[in-house]
Structure 1
């Protein structure tokens, strides 16, 4: 009781009078009766900055939908396309218009009125206070006035607002148009969920993180490629070697060298001296061998990983290698740094290379800032408004029960496994004194067959040194077969505390091959796989260029995006990303804030405020 009284005494400092309490109760009760904000879910961006940036700018096609709906009767298709491009890229579009002699005062007035109509519609599901906070500070008062213009008996307000617009256009309206465009985009999406894999093949992952760091409301569910970079930034040598190898293989050096200041000079010099040939091919081979050695060391340190079949450097016999009991011909048998008596020991030259790379990763201020952001905004999973979000899989046995996995001397399964992995990943990065077991675990999360971020037997060695593709097959966890069954998904949801019949799993990681007839909606709508292949390398595999799952007050719908041409084409020809929308689930009743996680918190706040009001009235606490 003493602790409760202390709490309410502190609360009374914020609400010192019965009037202030009543005002806040009225305000919070009103918020509960607003429609829920729109959530967007995206995954597997893989460094594709331009396409991702455009989809953020067009709000996954929502801006165009609203413009067509509101202005379809007054503007032509070409004019609507011009307006949309202006909203997406206001600075760049205005610069182009100036070069062609536009825009004049009449253009500004009409354009601002059209944009205000869109903003006014999008703001209708928020409180006036929240909309005001979303506005750029310099124009907050003016925008607030214009968005809430009301006709009166003598049209005084109409004249008043027309005078405001006249003054804006007379003094120069560019900054105002830019601010209004940003407000529209912010109101269109209340919260963004990134369900893993910001990093990988595209060459601008660091630009994507810079973009996300400016978002007003988002969360990130870590993917296996994200955890790989997080492990590298923590100092895991096996993760560092994997990151560098991936970048060299896909010729994605800009992110490493320009983005994060990681020099590959020592690697390329060592590779040229050791292997010869084309520089990048030599560098790829050099870092691959270093990677397999470091991975071998981690596997030998941790027999509980159950990955002894990955110890292939020790199974090389001249020009052949044994993998899973089968002998394969190697496409390259030149391994001058591999000692048959100690195949996983680094040579002096290899040690110098990895030491230099480790120093670069640990001392990159930009990388540390970006990885810190991933930890602050991210986690292994998230439960949000009845949906369970995670990137990879919940490891299962063949019978659908949760697989029990041993790490750090204990056994884990289901939600407890995710919680432990989240905790250990944070310790690996933030601990001042690095723990080798935790660094090794970061590598395991990246590629372990029973890792919740991977869930398959990755065969990098075979894909690198064996031409026979029969050796490349990567066995997957039973999860990827069983997640088509409703009972399996409901069991997983219950494990994470989501027992509502309207709960869903939102999953990334495995590209949906629409060209083969695969569907993203599985298990009678209980699970949605939203990896549609943002990365250009996956477009032929998936047949599309990414998904956005949209959850608004009316229900769930999935938007499949077509490939993005270029920002240049968008600016000059108003080219947009074409998106096909599919309804996943329509709510019987409109979803209000009262039905969300935020609503639950608000109801708790209201209960506390009523209790404080009662204490004021009873004399337990004295109001000011």
Structure 2
């Protein structure tokens, strides 16, 4: 045994100072290894759709309804099961509706409490008592533990449990107790949540989603391109800030920035009113609003939309002129504008401009801010960096997120592994070094973190800020996955041929087993029997017959159009993936009308479910990544035991 190993064991002995303490911990860990693995829940591309996201989170993509079916079988009607499931999802709201029509609330409380206790017992059964105890709500922890724990020493168990329930009702604590039980079921039914990117943009409530994720008991996030651009905005990237505001304006959700994050957009509003007084009939900067949008804001929002779009092209141009190595010179288009001819040259072809009113463009340097634009941009950067809520959410993304993750033989990433047409990994040069495959992911993540956290080396922070924008839209970015982002063309050019964005070769090759096996090997999962890639980013067009299951089940693309903006394209409202001790199940979701409708009609949003993989025997904790860590801890504790027995380390009684 080396001195380093002995030093480690001496440090471990402070936590387990006796043979008895070390032995007890080994027994506890061995017991955990032989429990069924926890249920993992995978979601992606939620794009600000907070009501649907929260519903899917509450119902565990049908997992709670499955537990109800398992527990009650045919003893409850389908209507009773739907009512119980809805109560578990929305306990306060559902109770208010039920009790308004209930003639005997006491009887309803009694029946409901016993049913909920039965469900809690079932979902808690796969965990250690210690883990369940930690999940219990503090106010009712002792009572819940009594109700769900088998009491062998009590002869009349039924009377014992009934007396507890009657006392809860008599003391007028039934409603709060029901809420506690329902939230406990939600907490226990899913052991871990994976968000495979794109929490932000398009929908109205990414800040609400982030609040829920920050409160969640166990979660990791693989950053999507729409998360990255918000992270860059929080770090102070001018180009990212402009992109974030432009997309919020385009979808009629500037309120997300102003009310959701408390970011003052008055400087942009003033600039827009001064520069673009008449944009009401400008279709290029139309707002795609829904029924909740206040049309009184339309004229101002269109002006702001145009103002921030021009600011974006200028900010991006500054980055591209600093970094010709990005290979994105085709995105430098402001200097290709012929203002007098009202046209622009793209890829050597002249196109008429849909909107030629560009008062802030200086022909000598079209990427330079005017004095008013520079002042506005400075104030916007300050506002984004001083938003406490945004900074809290982005810090959570950094702390609990990454560009990719391997977990329990699954490789999770949002977009793609950039490839050339022959299937080899595409390389990208940063500071003279070429990166590809996993190394590219690692290098880009390093700079994304430097953009936000670097406080000493300003040049390094600036490189990070520029690269975090590149991750958002660069042709070799693993979370973008296209050759170009044709934002300028979509606003200013009628010819839709200029709008095309070619997907990376990855998307044409990912059904080939050699390609998927090569990716798994690159990320350390080569040769694993049950290895999968879980992918988001590109919506699966189910209505055209496209399948989310690719390469014989090795690649699962679970973006089914969670965002309303994609519903007409995909024909569904998203996929989610559930992996438990029995196998992996892909869940297809119907369109979600509203939380109110889900509560009133007791309608869930699941439409189909298919097993991707079914295990021949139930998978245990020992077969998971957590199990491997526990086995290492057991081996270390056994070494400590041997040291105690050999007298190398002395017990501390």
Pairwise CA distance, 1:575? 2.1
Q: Which residue of 1 aligns with 2:29?
A: 28
Alignment of 1:283-432 (within 5 A): 283-317=304-338, 318-432=341-455
Rounded to whole Å, the distance in 2 between the matches of 1:355 and 1:3 is 52
What is the CA deviation profile of residues 73-120 of structure 1, one whole-angstrom value per residue up to 9, with x for unaligned ones?
Answer: 222222211111110011222223343356622211111111111111
What is the CA deviation profile of residues 254-294 of structure 1, one whole-angstrom value per residue up to 9, with x for unaligned ones?
Answer: 11000111222222222222122132222211111111111
- Structure 1 gaps, min length 5: none
Is structure 2 residue 179 aligned with structure 1 residue 156?
Answer: no
Range with greater deviation from structure 2 (407-416 or 526-535): 407-416
Pairwise CA distance, 1:151? 6.2
Is structure 2 residue 468 aligned with structure 1 residue 442?
Answer: yes
Is structure 2 residue 459 aligned with structure 1 residue 455?
Answer: no
Rounded to whole Å, the distance in 1 between the matches of 2:365 and 2:124 is 66
What is the CA deviation profile of residues 364-390 of structure 1, one whole-angstrom value per residue up to 9, with x for unaligned ones?
Answer: 111111111111110111100000001
**Residues 522 and 102 (structure 1 numbering): CA distance in 2 closer, same or farther, change over 3 Å?**
farther
Rounded to whole Å, the distance in 2 between the matches of 1:236 and 1:399 is 35
Range with greater deviation from structure 2 (212-221 or 73-82): 73-82
Match of 2:554 among 526, 530, 553: 526
Rounded to whole Å, the distance in 1 between the matches of 2:427 and 2:166 is 69
Q: Which residue of 1 aligns with 2:292?
A: none
- SS class of match (1:584): strand
Rounded to whole Å, the distance in 2 between the matches of 1:88 and 1:151 is 33
Q: Which residue of 2 aligns with 1:586?
A: 614
Range with greater deviation from structure 2 (557-566 or 117-126): 117-126
Is the CA contact 2:587–2:606 (under 8 Å) kept in the aligned structure 1?
Answer: no
Rounded to whole Å, the distance in 2 between the matches of 1:395 and 1:23 is 49
- Structure 2 gaps, min length 5: 281-299
Rounded to whole Å, the distance in 2 between the matches of 1:271 and 1:50 is 32
- SS class of match (1:162): helix
Rounded to whole Å, the distance in 2 between the matches of 1:405 and 1:458 is 18
Q: Which residue of 2 aligns with 1:482?
A: 509
What is the CA deviation profile of residues 207-265 of structure 1, one whole-angstrom value per residue up to 9, with x for unaligned ones?
Answer: 10101111100100000000000000001001011111111111111110001112222
Is the CA contact 1:200–1:225 (under 8 Å) kept in the aligned structure 2?
Answer: yes
Is the CA contact 1:150–1:158 (under 8 Å) kept in the aligned structure 2?
Answer: no
Range with greater deviation from structure 2 (83-92 or 428-437): 428-437
Alignment of 1:166-177 (within 5 A): 166-172=166-172, 173-177=174-178
Q: Which residue of 1 aligns with 2:146?
A: 145
Is the CA contact 1:505–1:527 (under 8 Å) kept in the aligned structure 2?
Answer: yes
In the superposition, the TM-score normalised over structure 1's length comes to 0.98
Rounded to whole Å, the distance in 2 between the matches of 1:156 and 1:282 is 74
Rounded to whole Å, the distance in 2 between the matches of 1:36 and 1:203 is 35
Pairwise CA distance, 1:3? 2.1
Match of 2:646 among 613, 618, 621: 618
Q: Which residue of 2 aligns with 1:96?
A: 97
Rounded to whole Å, the distance in 2 between the matches of 1:447 and 1:103 is 60
Is the CA contact 1:392–1:455 (under 8 Å) kept in the aligned structure 2?
Answer: yes
Rounded to whole Å, the distance in 2 between the matches of 1:329 and 1:66 is 61
Pairwise CA distance, 1:149? 2.6
Is structure 2 residue 579 aligned with structure 1 residue 556?
Answer: no
Is the CA contact 2:19–2:644 (under 8 Å) kept in the aligned structure 1?
Answer: yes
In the comparison of the two structures, how many residue pairs are matched? 623
- SS class of match (2:537): coil
Range with greater deviation from structure 2 (439-448 or 122-131): 122-131
C-alpha RMSD of the superposition? 1.4
Pairwise CA distance, 1:192? 0.2
Q: Which residue of 2 aligns with 1:214?
A: 215
Range with greater deviation from structure 2 (31-40 or 400-409): 400-409
Pairwise CA distance, 1:150? 4.7
Is the CA contact 1:533–1:542 (under 8 Å) kept in the aligned structure 2?
Answer: yes
Rounded to whole Å, the distance in 1 between the matches of 2:377 and 2:17 is 61
Rounded to whole Å, the distance in 2 between the matches of 1:377 and 1:61 is 25
Is the CA contact 2:224–2:537 (under 8 Å) kept in the aligned structure 1?
Answer: yes
Range with greater deviation from structure 2 (310-319 or 34-43): 310-319
Alignment of 1:61-72 (within 5 A): 61-72=62-73
- SS class of match (2:74): coil
- SS class of match (1:475): coil
Rounded to whole Å, the distance in 2 between the matches of 1:409 and 1:235 is 25
What is the CA deviation profile of residues 526-572 of structure 1, one whole-angstrom value per residue up to 9, with x for unaligned ones?
Answer: 11111111111111111111111111111111001111111111222
